[in-house]
Structure 1
């Protein structure tokens, strides 16, 4: 089970990572909120362990941004803030559980196990006959495996999470190139290759360009 730990206290992070890995978890680590957001864009996690007081983007904001982007991965907040107002702020931001520092490592591990079971229904996305396994990082259509580059995978997952809604080209460019696209045609090429992979040889298309609005992954271009 892959867990993301977002914690800027390096000593605490090292202790948590050591314990969780000895308990059978695979772990990634980010020391600030923006670095964590970049990892979430490119990797599917079973659970995210999230400190509140983080540099560059605090935990409440990070959780809220992830939820608004359609990331449903269960989140557990680690924090020294134990007031009911802080806990309510965390839950309103989209966190699933709350553990106050100092905490017992065994309790943390047990809570992660429970959250991973709760979040398993979010590990797959399906749009008509297209199935995406977020944990295995595989996609298939009619059982036909799709071979995707990293950027093609990111776009496909983002479109599927927002399906049947329309995603603007600006959103996709920000997803792939937060510091600016390398060329005006960069996104066009990614979308062209992805459309070819998904729809070529199929009786009906799933990727649709909605003129003036963006791109949608759904059964038909216009919704009833």
Structure 2
């Protein structure tokens, strides 16, 4: 699963991110409502964990804008420190799918996120995303910053492997097995494929995503900053 966590307490955000990452999720984090709203509207997530009390824009407003403006149906689980019925009803009225009261057990939070995510799987797309690069595995459409990119079958295989393992390093042998199985090919074939992929996804954009790790392989990774990490789902 790919999860967006919008939480202004850095320690809580870090704890959620660490736990969900250990569970095999890709986690993106935001410390304020405005940043969280932007990430939610431009990214592709299986679920959003949204704190109610946020700087810049509170969680209820973020949820309302996602539902009423961008028409998103991504499951939203809201966090609150206030155990009042009126607060919970407000959250549900703006489009929240579930509510959990602070303090909470990380295991319960994960179970609830899994539950709301399963409910929506019928309308979710099979899409990988790293930073502003998306790969729809059903249609084989690759976009960066909304721009449709053209990739050949070889570069599509390379990109899928890189995105699934992002931000981890993919070793040359892994690429070779994905492309040719046990058959042997000269190293120039792989270098050519990587060159073509880099030219397509990075050349006309300001932020490079495809990085060479000398003597090891390659990795796909977005810039660091407000996001805790960016991985596949």
CA–CA distance in 2 between the matches of 1:121 and 1:77?
Answer: 22
- Alpha carbons of 1:66 and 1:144: their partners in 2 closer, same or farther (altered >3 Å)? closer
Gaps (5+ residues) in structure 2?
149-233
Partner of 2:36: 36
- Alpha carbons of 1:92 and 1:146: their partners in 2 closer, same or farther (altered >3 Å)? same
Count of aligned residue pairs for this structure pair: 143
Are the counterparts in 2 of residues 8 and 54 from structure 1 also a CA contact under 8 Å?
yes
Partner of 2:109: 108
Cα deviations across residues 183-204 of structure 1 (Å, max 9, x unaligned)?
xxxxxxxxxxxxxxxxxxxxxx
Cα deviations across residues 36-91 of structure 1 (Å, max 9, x unaligned)?
11111221000000000000010000000000111110000011011110000000
CA–CA distance in 2 between the matches of 1:106 and 1:139?
Answer: 30
CA–CA distance in 2 between the matches of 1:59 and 1:144?
Answer: 33
- Alpha carbons of 1:105 and 1:38: their partners in 2 closer, same or farther (altered >3 Å)? same
Q: C-alpha root-mean-square deviation of aligned residues, in Å?
A: 2.0
| 1:109-128 equivalence runs, <5 A | 109-124=110-125
Q: TM-score, length-normalised on structure 1?
A: 0.59
How far has the Cα of 1:139 moved from its partner? Answer: 5.1
CA–CA distance in 2 between the matches of 1:57 and 1:19?
Answer: 26
Partner of 2:190: none
Partner of 1:81: 82
CA–CA distance in 2 between the matches of 1:28 and 1:148?
Answer: 19
How far has the Cα of 1:138 moved from its partner? Answer: 3.9
Match for 1:152 among 134, 137, 147? 147
- Alpha carbons of 1:105 and 1:146: their partners in 2 closer, same or farther (altered >3 Å)? closer
Partner of 2:55: 55
How far has the Cα of 1:145 moved from its partner? Answer: 4.1
- Alpha carbons of 1:104 and 1:146: their partners in 2 closer, same or farther (altered >3 Å)? closer
Gaps (5+ residues) in structure 1?
125-132, 154-224
Q: TM-score, length-normalised on structure 2?
A: 0.57
* Secondary structure in 2 matching 1:81: coil
| 1:119-198 equivalence runs, <5 A | 119-124=120-125, 133-135=126-128, 137-138=134-135, 145-152=140-147
Matched, 1:14 2:45: no
Are the counterparts in 1 of residues 79 and 99 from structure 2 also a CA contact under 8 Å?
yes
CA–CA distance in 1 between the matches of 2:2 and 2:140?
Answer: 23
- Alpha carbons of 1:110 and 1:147: their partners in 2 closer, same or farther (altered >3 Å)? closer
* Secondary structure in 2 matching 1:78: strand
| 1:89-108 equivalence runs, <5 A | 89-108=90-109
Higher relative contact order (CA 8 A, sep 6+): 2
Partner of 1:66: 66
Are the counterparts in 2 of residues 123 and 135 from structure 1 also a CA contact under 8 Å?
no
